Structure 1
Amino acid sequence: MELELADEKVLGNTNILVVGCGGGGGNTVNRMIDVGVKGIQYMVINTDYDMLEKSKAEIKVLVGKNVTNGLGAGGVPDIGRKSAEEDSDTIKEHLKGVDMAFITAGMGGGTGTGSAPVVARIAKEQGCLTVAIVTLPFLFERNMKMKIAKEGIDKLKEHVDILIQIPNENIFKIISDDVSIDEAFLKVDGILQMGIQGISDIINKTGNINIDFADVRTVMKGRGDAIMGIGKCSGKENIEMAIKEAVENPLLGSVGIDGAKALLVNFISGKNMSMTEFKKIMESISSKVSDESIVISGQYTDESLKDELVVTVIATGVNSAEKVEEKNSEEITSDKTPELKQVEKPENEAEGSWMEKPGTQIRSFKDMMWRKEWEDLKGGRGISTSVPSWEGKIGNKNQDLSYPTVLRGQQVRHRKNDDEA
């Protein structure tokens, strides 16, 4: 396959290259080209010759010809990795002179999962500011594919400056039942499109408060997990809505800008915004991060927007979705679980009767369940305190008290039936 070298510079002093790895990454690149994101160069990498032929990217790289014969990786990441390494010199050649590389892939398959970390490593070696935006499998694709995806992400994290993860499952949070598959994935690709277009505008347009590529590098270099968002509004009364849209994206799930180590915020307004408006918006956004966070802001005027305002927010060093879920779990546990104190059950007392004594501390989950049962039996929830004579009293030595109540009840009933037989 004939290879086409990247132009030396396509964005003035900043050369941005989007690299689509595998089938998912290639599809994203095609949709971005269809939407018409300008001033960006595109490259796709695949082990499948037929898929490359359908790509609209200027640069197409068939990797692993000696490994796959152009027939794909068969969902095996190791084949994707070996294929990319086989043609690493070609990939390196296309990354020469690139200032910023966006790597996109659908994680969980073979070529994308295996090749993306290789591309990221080469990009970093070339001195590129490296950003990866990847999708995670749907839940219906089951655990094995998710396991493969997360292993690929762990390898990718070793080489990228920032990483944005988009769970495909979150698509269902933002679409109606009649939305087509193409439309749904366009919404996912919108994060990549908005991020790249936003960064391109930030770097290359001159305004009242300028942000240059060095500022972008400061916010992104080695920052780990990140989010990017763009909010739009018409009229001053909708500014808060634009801010919310920029910092809270349902596609990113529970990940927010809270706790971010660095923020880059840029405003594009149709009319010259007032200093008071600028201050109000910045205070609203920066209040979500700590005083130690790096906050860089910019603003320029685009008269074609008239009364519209566009807010671009890039937050880096944020908590990943896994960390957020872990933190929430810890908070729930600490809020709900009482402090346990080891105590011994008094001798010669029926199991559970000692629970009604004031100040008695539970010592295990079993004891906690006993207390609940005891309180219920005392009539706290309207449950009768009478016990059927065939079941016996609480503390019956023939009962295995480690069983849940419903199973013990069944056990006693079976025993009664056996006795009657």
Structure 2
Amino acid sequence: SRGFVPADLPAGPSVPPSSARAGTGRAAARGMNRAREATQQAITSPLLEENGIEGAKGLLLNITASMDLSLHELDEASTIAKEAADPQANIIVGHVVDPGLGDEVIITVIATGFQQQQDFLRTKPVANPEVEERPHLPVPLAPRPVLTMAGKASMDGSADDLDRPAFIRRGESDSRIEQGNLLVDEDWEVPTFLRRRAN
């Protein structure tokens, strides 16, 4: 459809074209406060992310309505958009006549000129989770085995042998073990359970 833009304002090139971010919003409303409601819904559109048009340096506001749109409604829509954008924003308002809309008003907003990403997307602070501190409990350790004199004597021989050097005691015990494990050929003829009884 054919639209109208005020002749004392330049067209689209006055909006900064090299901006890092831009967004658009669109909404429609009917009834007594149609211009106000449609504008508020357009500038808070999910397509504009969380902050809407906040921080925008350039703003194109298009109002599509039938011939019964009043100048008061046109001014109200532009005022709402101007208050939501940057105080120094350059706002261009256009009007498209569509007789088929009846009493419906459609507001389209194109916001650009966001200087920094944080102006366009404001990060929400993340709450730090509370960590419950618990006392550190000592890990129980297994008790170390205690070797008594009786156990020592049973391992190495009699208690009297403790006065002799360990390497001598070991040599004698190894020789005793080797002699004790020797089996004669006759022992193989006797069943195992009988040999155990004999021992």
The TM-score by the shorter chain falls in which range?
A: 0.5 to 0.7
Offset, 1:306: 1.2
Pair 1:270–1:420, CA change in 2 (3 A): farther
* 8 Å contact from structure 1 (residues 209, 297) kept in 2: yes
Offset, 1:233: 1.4
* In the alignment, structure 1 residue 305 sits paired with structure 2 residue 101: yes
Offset, 1:312: 1.1
- Structure-1 residue corresponding to 2:78: 282
* In the alignment, structure 1 residue 225 sits paired with structure 2 residue 16: no
- Structure-2 residue corresponding to 1:244: 40
3-state SS in 2 of match to 1:414: coil
* In the alignment, structure 1 residue 324 sits paired with structure 2 residue 121: yes
* 8 Å contact from structure 2 (residues 35, 74) kept in 1: no
Separation of aligned partners in 2, 1:418 and 1:257: 65
* 8 Å contact from structure 2 (residues 35, 76) kept in 1: no
Separation of aligned partners in 2, 1:238 and 1:278: 11
Separation of aligned partners in 1, 2:143 and 2:81: 74
Letter paired with 2:59: L
- TM normalised by structure 1 equals 0.29
Gaps of 5+ in 2: 145-199
Offset, 1:419: 9.0
Pair 1:239–1:420, CA change in 2 (3 A): farther
**Equivalences for residues 1-400 of structure 1 within 5 A:** 205-207=2-4, 209=6, 215-318=11-114, 319-320=116-117, 324-326=121-123, 328-329=124-125
Separation of aligned partners in 2, 1:230 and 1:277: 17
- Structure-1 residue corresponding to 2:133: 406
* 8 Å contact from structure 2 (residues 24, 47) kept in 1: no
Question: CA-to-partner distance for each residue in 1:276-322, whole Å, 9 max, x for gaps?
Answer: 12111211111012331111111232211111111111110135369
Offset, 1:217: 2.1
Separation of aligned partners in 2, 1:262 and 1:323: 13
- TM normalised by structure 2 equals 0.57
* 8 Å contact from structure 2 (residues 23, 47) kept in 1: no
The structure with the larger Rg is: 2
Letter paired with 1:320: Q
Question: CA-to-partner distance for each residue in 1:92-112, whole Å, 9 max, x for gaps?
Answer: xxxxxxxxxxxxxxxxxxxxx
Offset, 1:223: 2.3
Separation of aligned partners in 2, 1:266 and 1:234: 16
Q: Identity of paired residues, percent?
A: 22
The count of residues paired between Structure 1 and Structure 2 equals 141
* 8 Å contact from structure 1 (residues 261, 317) kept in 2: yes
Pair 1:305–1:299, CA change in 2 (3 A): same
RMSD between superposed Cα atoms in Å: 3.4
Separation of aligned partners in 2, 1:260 and 1:304: 32
* 8 Å contact from structure 1 (residues 254, 321) kept in 2: no
* 8 Å contact from structure 1 (residues 265, 311) kept in 2: yes
Separation of aligned partners in 1, 2:120 and 2:47: 17
Offset, 1:220: 4.5
Separation of aligned partners in 2, 1:316 and 1:231: 18
- Structure-1 residue corresponding to 2:160: none
Pair 1:304–1:261, CA change in 2 (3 A): same
3-state SS in 2 of match to 1:300: strand
Pair 1:420–1:248, CA change in 2 (3 A): farther
Separation of aligned partners in 2, 1:278 and 1:291: 19
